[in-house]
Amino acid sequence: MSSTTVESTPSPRGAGNRAQRSGNGSSSGPGPSFPRVLNSEFIKFRTLLSMLILLGSTVVVMVGFGALSAWGTGQFSQAAAQDPEAGARFAAQGGDLAVGVPTSGIAFAQLILGSLGVLLMSSEFTTGMARSTFAAVPKRLPAFAAKLVVVVLSSFVITAASTLLAGFVSVPILDNYGLGLDLGSSQSVKLLVVNSIYVAAVAAIGMALGTLIRNSAGGIMSLVGLFFVAPIAFQLIPGDFFVEARKYLPGNTVEPLTAVEHVPNTLEVWQAGLVLGAWVVVPLLLAAILLKKRDV
């Protein structure tokens, strides 16, 4: 077979003019512009079954929790008047309990899509794919930015879509209990948009962690630590410092951002926006700088 392979072997095109090319590093064809790198990252994203499974899981979790919450809210609505804690939550949504039903699975969506952010980058390093990626894009940052766009866009779209779907499923259930849910109301739209932005932000933080830690388990554990363990730990540690610090955790910025009226002991809306923004920008900047500097 060897002798036949040689003839059919390399360079089907351009064998002749190859040698004539000047030796100054000039290339004969398009290079890795940002739209092309973005296209490549989208191909890489959609050709991984694990990514599609994570997106699918998000839809299932959001719709499932939406339906469950609709049922629970219906049951709860009767007793709500006597319960002070429920009353506070009531107040936070302008007295409308049903409006928060479609986004009740957000805590889990953020974990799934945050992990997606971690995995999309950490798997590059654990599998060795990074060597191929950054050999094709030696400047590295365009590939990082393209991946970020893929992570943020996919997380935002899937959260928004599954919130809407959860809404459609919840409306008839709530209706059974005589509770109205208007998916077109300004508060419904606000919850959908802010939560989707929030989840996209968590996914971006996840990607930053995946880039910094380069290890899937380590990255996901850090994410869980930040969003699930830290809020509880901060609550258990005595002292005013931790009570105050707890407000600045990224997971505690959603409530002030979506509340109709300011809830006591939470940040102001503008503060919450800045804090969440800082939680996204700082790790991403660190990740980008280190990605550029470190060996692949």
Partner 1 sequence: MIEARGLTKVYGDKTAVAGVNFTVEAGRVTGFLGPNGAGKSTTMRMIMGLDRPTSGSVTVNGSPLTGHAAPLRDVGALLDAKAVHTSRSAYNHLLAMAATHSIPKKRVHEVIEMTGLAEVARKKVGGFSLGMGQRLGIAAALLGNPQTVILDEPVNGLDPEGVVWVRNLVKYLASEGRTVFLSSHLMSEMAVTADHLIVIGRGKIIADAPIQEIITGKGQGRTRVRTDQPDRLMQLLAGTGISVEVRERELLEVTGLDPRQIATAALENHVMIYELTPLQASLEEAYMELTKDEVEYHSLITTGAVPVEAGGN
Do the beta carbons of residue 117 and residue 207 sit within 8 Å? yes
- Other Cβ atoms within 10 Å of 137 Cβ, number: 20
37 sits near partner 1 (criterion: CB under 8 A): yes
Task: List the one residue from 27, 81, 178, 238 that touches partner 1 (CB under 8 A).
Answer: 27
The sign of the torsion formed by the CA atoms of 172, 176, 182, 183 equals negative
Q: 91-102 burial string, b = 16+ CB within 10 Å, else e?
A: ebbeebbbbbbb
The residues in 257-296 that bind partner 1, with binding defined as CB under 8 A, are 293-296
The yes or no reply on residue 48 touching partner 1 (CB under 8 A) is: yes
According to DSSP, residue 227 is labeled I
Hunting for tokens 């365009």 — which residue is that?
142
End-to-end CA distance of the chain: 37
Cβ-based nearer residue to partner 1, 81 or 135: 135
Does 141 bind partner 1 (CB under 8 A)? Our answer is: no
Closest by CA position to 179, among listed 54, 256, 80? 80
Residue 5 C-beta: closest distance to partner 1, Å: 5
Nearest distance in Å: CB 186, partner 1 = 41
Residues 216-255 that bind partner 1 (CB under 8 A): none
CB of 208 to partner 1, least distance (A): 20
The answer to whether 18 contacts partner 1 (rule: CB under 8 A) is yes
Q: Pick the closer one to partner 1 by CB: 16 or 264.
A: 16
Output the smallest distance, CB 214 to partner 1, in A. Answer: 14
Q: Rule CB under 8 A: say whether 149 interacts with partner 1.
A: no
